[in-house]
Amino acid sequence: MEKFKLDPKFIISIGTIVVVMAGFYYTTSYRLDSLEKKVEQLEGNNEAIIRLEERLKIVQAKTDEIYKYIISSNNSINN
C-alpha cells in the first residue's frame, strides 16, 4: 500500500485559502452588521420626520386660522 505524503507547499496553499476565506467572511459579516445598524437608525429618523411633518401641518392649520381671524378683524375695523 502506498503511503500518502503531504507536500508542505500544498498545506500552505490550503491554509492560505482557508485564512483568506475566513477573513472575507468575518469582514463581510461585520460590514453587514454595521449597515443593519445604520438602516435601523435611518428608519428611526424617518419616523421622527413623519411625526414632525404631522405637527407642522397642525401648526400651519392653526396659523392659517389666526391669519384669517386677523384679516377678518382688520376688514371689520376698516368698514
- The domain of 71 spans 41-79
- 72 has pLDDT over 70: yes
Mean pLDDT of the chain: 89
53 falls within a domain: yes
pLDDT given for residue 2 in this prediction: 66
16 falls within a domain: no
Q: In this prediction, what percent of the chain has a pLDDT beyond 90?
A: 59
Please tell me the distance from the alpha carbon of residue 58 to that of residue 25, in angstroms, as a whole number: 50
26 falls within a domain: no
* Domain total in the chain: 1
Helices vs. strands in the chain: H and E counts, helices first: 1, 0
Tens-digit pLDDT profile for residues 27-50: 999 999 999 999 999 888 888 899
27 falls within a domain: no
> Which residue, chain included where needed, has cell 404631522?
54
22 falls within a domain: no
Among 4-8, 31-35, 38-42, 60-64, whose mean pLDDT is lowest?
4-8
